[in-house]
A and B are shown apart, each in its own frame.
Chain A
Amino acid sequence: MGVGIEVANLNAWYGANHTLQDINLNIPANHATALIGPSGCGKSTFVRCLNRMHETNPIARVTGTVRIGDLDIYKDAKPVEIRRRVGMVFQRPNPFPTMSIYDNVAAGLKLNGYSNRRVLDEIVEQSLKDSALWDEVKDDLKKKSGASLSGGQQQRLCIARALAVDPEVLLMDEPASALDPVSTSKIEDLIFELKSQYTIVIVTHNMQQAARVAEKTGFFLNGRMVEFDATHKIFTNPSDKRTEDYITGRFG
Chain B
Amino acid sequence: MTRKRFQLSLDELKENLLVMAGLAEQAIQRAIEAYRVRDLSICDLVSRSEIAINRLERDIDQAALDLLAMEQPMAIDLRFILSVIKINADLERVGDAAKSIVDRVRSMEQMAVAELPVDIPRMASLAADMVRKSLQSFIEADAEMARTVLTMDDAVDTMNRAAYKTLTKVMEEESHLAPQALNALMIARALERVADHATNIAEDVIFWVQGADVRHHKSLKKGPDPHAMGEAETA
Q: Answer whether A and B touch in the complex at a CB cut-off of 8 Å.
A: yes
Binding site for B on A (CB under 8 A): 207-208, 235-239, 241, 244, 247-252
Residue B219 interfacial (CB < 8 Å): no
Q: A236-B211, A237-B229, A239-B229 are in contact. Are A252 and B75 (CB under 8 A)?
A: no
Contacts of A247 in B (CB 8 A): 74-75
Closest to B77 in A: A248
Residue B41 interfacial (CB < 8 Å): no
Contact B2 A207 (CB under 8 A): no
Q: A248-B3, A249-B2 are in contact. Are A237 and B74 (CB under 8 A)?
A: no
Known contacts A239-B229, A249-B2, A250-B234, then 14 further A-B pairs from the complex at CB < 8 Å, ordered by chain A residue: A235-B74, A236-B75, A237-B79, A237-B211, A237-B229, A238-B75, A244-B76, A248-B3, A248-B74, A248-B76, A248-B234, A250-B1, A250-B7, A251-B1
Contacts of B76 in A (CB 8 A): 237, 244, 248
Contacts of A241 in B (CB 8 A): 230
Nearest 6 pairs of A and B residues by beta carbon: A237-B211, A247-B74, A249-B3, A251-B2, A244-B75, A248-B77
**Alpha-carbon separation in the docked complex, A208 to B74 (Å):** 9
Contacts of B78 in A (CB 8 A): 235-236
Closest to A249 in B: B3
Closest to A235 in B: B74
**Alpha-carbon separation in the docked complex, A249 to B76 (Å):** 11
**Alpha-carbon separation in the docked complex, A91 to B96 (Å):** 56
Contacts of A208 in B (CB 8 A): 72
**Alpha-carbon separation in the docked complex, A249 to B6 (Å):** 10
Binding site for A on B (CB under 8 A): 1-3, 6-7, 72-79, 211, 229-230, 234
Contacts of B74 in A (CB 8 A): 207, 235-236, 247-248
Contacts of B3 in A (CB 8 A): 248-250
A207, A248, A252 pick with most chain B CB within 10 angstroms: A248
Q: A236-B78, A237-B79, A237-B229 are in contact. Are A248 and B73 (CB under 8 A)?
A: yes
How far, in Å, is B77 (CB) from chain A's closest CB?
Answer: 5
Choose one: B1, B72, B79, B234; the contact of A252 (CB below 8 Å). B1
**Alpha-carbon separation in the docked complex, A238 to B227 (Å):** 11
How far, in Å, is A237 (CB) from chain B's closest CB?
Answer: 3
Closest to A211 in B: B74
Closest to A251 in B: B2
**Alpha-carbon separation in the docked complex, A208 to B76 (Å):** 16
**Alpha-carbon separation in the docked complex, A237 to B74 (Å):** 9
How far, in Å, is B205 (CB) from chain A's closest CB?
Answer: 15
Closest to B72 in A: A208
Contact B2 A250 (CB under 8 A): yes
Contact B75 A237 (CB under 8 A): yes
How far, in Å, is A248 (CB) from chain B's closest CB?
Answer: 5
8 A-B contact pairs sorted by A residue (CB < 8 Å): A235-B74, A236-B78, A236-B79, A248-B75, A248-B76, A249-B3, A250-B1, A250-B3
**Alpha-carbon separation in the docked complex, A124 to B56 (Å):** 61
Contact B230 A235 (CB under 8 A): no
Contacts of A249 in B (CB 8 A): 2-3, 6
Contacts of A207 in B (CB 8 A): 72, 74
**Alpha-carbon separation in the docked complex, A237 to B213 (Å):** 12
**Alpha-carbon separation in the docked complex, A247 to B71 (Å):** 12
Contact B75 A235 (CB under 8 A): yes
How far, in Å, is B220 (CB) from chain A's closest CB?
Answer: 15
**Alpha-carbon separation in the docked complex, A248 to B76 (Å):** 8
A208, A241, A249, A251 pick with most chain B CB within 10 angstroms: A249
How far, in Å, is B148 (CB) from chain A's closest CB?
Answer: 23
How far, in Å, is A27 (CB) from chain B's closest CB?
Answer: 23
Contacts of A236 in B (CB 8 A): 74-75, 78-79, 211
Contact A252 B229 (CB under 8 A): no
Contacts of A239 in B (CB 8 A): 229
**Alpha-carbon separation in the docked complex, A133 to B64 (Å):** 40
Contacts of A235 in B (CB 8 A): 74-75, 78
How far, in Å, is B11 (CB) from chain A's closest CB?
Answer: 14
Contacts of B2 in A (CB 8 A): 249-252
Closest to A244 in B: B75
**Alpha-carbon separation in the docked complex, A250 to B72 (Å):** 13
**Alpha-carbon separation in the docked complex, A48 to B171 (Å):** 80
